[in-house]
Amino acid sequence: MIKSGNRYLRYYLPEAANSARRCDSELRRYYVLKFKEVNKYQHKRTLALTARKLVRLVFRLLKDQRLYIPPEG
């Protein structure tokens, strides 16, 4: 994470990603996959990657004006 960004978003985006990965099977699968790939600071770096994926998902949903329908399973 870069220091020049919004300090509140730097704190709350990984928190949101952590909560979302507990509830959403797709994000949980992504988290586990990236956790195995990262060697150093696994949890923190993987949360940052998951937060980035979550932001892209939210942006796309807002852009297309759609609701999120979680995958089954």
Question: pLDDT tens string for the chain (73 positions)?
Answer: 678 888 898 899 999 999 999 999 999 999 999 999 999 999 999 999 999 999 999 999 999 999 999 877 5
* Interatomic CA distance for residues 65 and 10, integer angstroms: 26
Contacts of 43 (CB under 8 A, 6+ apart): 35
Q: Work out how many domains the chain is built from and give that number.
A: 1
Q: Is 73 among the domain residues?
A: no
Residue 71 lies in a domain: no
Predicted model pTM:
0.86
In a domain, 69, yes or no: no
Residues ≥6 apart with Cβ < 8 Å to 48: 1, 14
Residue 1, in any domain of the structure: no
- 37: containing domain: 7-64
Are the C-beta atoms of 65 and 35 separated by less than 8 Å? no
User: What does DSSP assign to residue 41?
Assistant: S
